[in-house]
Amino acid sequence: GENVEQHPSTLSVQEGDSAVIKCTYSDSASNYFPWYKQELGKRPQLIIDIRSNVGEKKDQRIAVTLNKTAKHFSLHITETQPEDSAVYFCAASIPGTNDYKLSFGAGTTVTVRA
Amino acid sequence: KAGVTQTPRYLIKTRGQQVTLSCSPISGHRSVSWYQQTPGQGLQFLFEYFSETQRNKGNFPGRFSGRQFSNSRSEMNVSTLELGDSALYLCASTPKIQGGETQYFGPGTRLLVL
């Protein structure tokens, strides 16, 4: 099955600096790569996603890049703010029995220091 | 539209008991997926239902089962509970038939097995 590896597991950054989280996947058939943010005690929420026919996507301070050849994708957060502190999960959709299913990375706990 | 809802939000059981959790997807969403979230294992895929049929299944023992009703509401059942089943159980709904679409998560049911 699909194996999504996510690094680092924890990340501490100074407010205003950038944060980068990297994920790799194993199944070349994966075609959809969402990123979720989960604040303490809350549900995961989609913050950005990218499909396999696109190499980069940006939404304000958040960007995602995808390298299909190397099978890795990354989340970039610029000008970090305290409210960016959360657990971030990457995921990759892989072919299942009848449809695609999401396989998640183990998560990265991001702490933004004021 | 109302978001994904899950009931109950918190549950305490003892070993050997069984439990049923409920998930109501966003109106119009036909696919419901279930995940187990634990601090050490991240988000683990349990199964996915579409049109009352289980389409995909993760690597969990047969004690974990689910079903989906004609109105797309879904339930999952865990029989013969073990201490290791203590976790946050999240469901997520997706609007379309094919994969690659955003999954919207519910708030989760936190299960504690004593």
* Residue B96 pLDDT: 66
Mean pLDDT for all residues in chain A: 92
* Residue A3 pLDDT: 83
Query: Looking at beta carbons, which residues of chain B come within 8 Å of A31?
Result: 99-100
CA A69 to chain centre: 18
Average pLDDT over residues B11-16: 97
* Residue A84 pLDDT: 97
Q: Is the model's pLDDT at A97 over the cut of 70?
A: no
Alpha-carbon gap, residue B41 to A28, rounded angstroms = 24
Among A70-79, A83-92, B34-43, where is mean pLDDT lowest?
B34-43
Query: Looking at beta carbons, which residues of chain B come within 8 Å of A43?
Result: 90, 105-108
Q: Is A104 on the interface with B (CB under 8 A)?
A: yes
Catalogue the E-assigned strands of B1-113.
5-7, 10-13, 19-24, 31-38, 42-50, 53-57, 64-68, 74-78, 87-94, 104-105, 109-113
Q: Cα distance from B104 to chain A (closest Cα, Å)?
A: 7
* Residue B85 pLDDT: 97
Own/partner contacts of A48-53, CB < 8 Å, gap of 24 or more, are: A48/A75, A49/B102, A51/B100
Average pLDDT over residues B13-21: 98
Average pLDDT over residues B31-51: 89
Confidence of residue A83 (pLDDT cuts 50, 70, 90): very high
Confidence of residue A96 (pLDDT cuts 50, 70, 90): low
